[in-house]
Structure 1
Amino acid sequence: MSTTTFRVDGMTCGHCVRAVTEELSALPGVTGVDVELVTGGSSPVTVTSGAPLESTDIEAAVVEAGYAVTPTRSLL
């Protein structure tokens, strides 16, 4: 089992959460999606799957739902 957590920008309501959850749930091997809605900010999203997922697949699913994955920042 694998768990991936990332942040999504642009979600403001339950409909947004459902759209992202639906797209991520359609990825092969995904067994669960948990979204903590942060209106006006970056919402943490945790995806549980049978095997690690490709970050490009996650990002494509989020974009298909109409949102964007928050870029990670390097701390230098």
Structure 2
Amino acid sequence: MKETTLHVIGMTCNHCKASVESALNELDGVTTATVSLPDNSVTVVHEDVTQERLVEAIEEIGYDVAPA
């Protein structure tokens, strides 16, 4: 298992949190995605999913991403 933490720009509420977690949890190979609103970050536990694919999934729903 790998753990990747990304800084997500633009999350402000629980709806944002749920949207990001849902988008990531739908990816094959993702075990869990947990958003921290105070830190504007998401930590993803996964296998065989590239960081680029994680970023792409978040950007597809309208948020900007930077490595945490």
**Which category describes the TM-score, using the shorter chain as reference length?**
0.7 to 0.9
1:53 is displaced (CA, Å) by 2.2
Kindly tell me the number of residue pairs found equivalent between the two proteins.
Answer: 68
Q: CA deviation at 1:66?
A: 1.3
Q: Which of 33, 40, 46 is equivalent to 2:43?
A: 46
Answer whether contact 1:6 1:44 (CA < 8 A) is retained.
yes
In 2: Cα distance, 1:69 partner to 1:12 partner: 14
What is the Cα-based RMSD across aligned positions, in Å? 1.6
Query: Of 54, 60, 68, which aligns to 1:58?
Result: 54
* Structure 2 gap segments, 5+ residues each: none
Correspondence for 1:5: 5
Cα separation, 2, equivalents of 1:2 and 1:30: 10
TM-score by length of 1: 0.79
Higher strand share: 2
Which position in structure 2 is the counterpart of 1:34?
A: 34
Residues in 1 aligned to 2:67 and 2:32: alpha-carbon distance in whole angstroms: 22
The alignment-based identity, stated in percent, is: 40
